[in-house]
A and B are shown apart, each in its own frame.
Chain A
Amino acid sequence: MKNNLRLERAIKNITQAELANKIKVSRQTINSIEAGRYIPSTLLSLKIAKVFNKPVEDIFSLEKDD
């Protein structure tokens, strides 16, 4: 799975810490998601998408070998 989280954050100009605070997770979680080390749950993905006001598939998408 790939994600545009870093890009979206840059567009909206918020730091990892601010995003983490908005959806009540730790900064490590956001960092791990962006680095591709952690795949968030559906709940968390929906919350993230809501912050950026976009559909989930605009931020997270499947890769060929998923």
Chain B
Amino acid sequence: MKARFLFSHKCKKWGWIITMLTLALGIPFLFSRSNFEIPWLEMNVYHHQFLGPEGWAWSPVNLTGTLAGSGLIIGLSLIAFSRLKEEDEFTSRIRLESLQWAVYVNYALLLLAFLLIYDITFLNVLVYNLFTILLIFIIRFHWILYQQKRLLKNEK
């Protein structure tokens, strides 16, 4: 099975850069949304209205959360789905199995969260859950690759 729908290998480092920048911005924001909104990121955006009249309109919103969330999605996606320098059928299989593993683990954790966390705290779970699949996949995939490299060292 040939690896399809992957970004070029060069995208990986951009993924890291975007993720690191966004985390610097986003981590304080994740923990206390109201305190860490960057004030000058308030601007007029065309969006679906929450308060006031129904429908879509232009109105001011703060874009700190938008930037943090979008940045993380783009950054993590670039890291997760950039080609390796050498792709072959073996790495394709590892990638597929890691994806399946990540989905399993993600939903196991989510299930636990449903059972253990309630009320408004659950909102935090929802926010983290946006990114955990990508994160778990990245960790698992690279861990397996690292294990394989180590197995090579024990051989000739």
Contacts and interface: CB of A to CB of B under 8 A. Distances in A.
Candidate in A24, A27, A28, A41 with the most chain B CB atoms within 10 angstroms: A28
Given A15-B156, A31-B155, A40 B89 contact: yes
A41 B155 CA distance: 23
Contact of B152 (A24, A27, A38): A27
Nearest to B149: A28
B156 A16 contact: yes
A4 B148 CA distance: 21
A51 to B, nearest CB: 15
Contact of A41 (B1, B91, B152): B1
A44 B1 CA distance: 11
Contact of A25 (B89, B148, B155): B89
Contacts of B155: 16, 31
B47 interface: no
A29 B92 CA distance: 11
B46 to A, nearest CB: 48
Contact-residue size bin, chain B (C-beta under 8 Å from the other chain): 10 to 19
Q: Bin chain A's interface residue count.
A: 10 to 19
A41 B90 CA distance: 9
A41 B89 contact: yes
Interface of A: 15-16, 24-29, 31-32, 35, 38, 40-41, 43-44
30 contacts: A16-B155, A16-B156, A24-B88, A25-B88, A25-B89, A26-B86, A26-B88, A26-B90, A26-B91, A28-B90, A28-B148, A28-B149, A28-B151, A28-B152, A29-B88, A29-B89, A29-B90, A31-B148, A31-B151, A31-B152, A31-B155, A32-B90, A32-B148, A35-B151, A38-B90, A38-B93, A40-B89, A41-B1, A41-B89, A44-B89
Given A29-B88, A29-B90, 15 more contacts: A15-B156, A16-B156, A25-B90, A28-B90, A28-B148, A29-B89, A31-B151, A31-B152, A31-B155, A32-B90, A32-B148, A35-B151, A38-B90, A41-B89, A43-B89
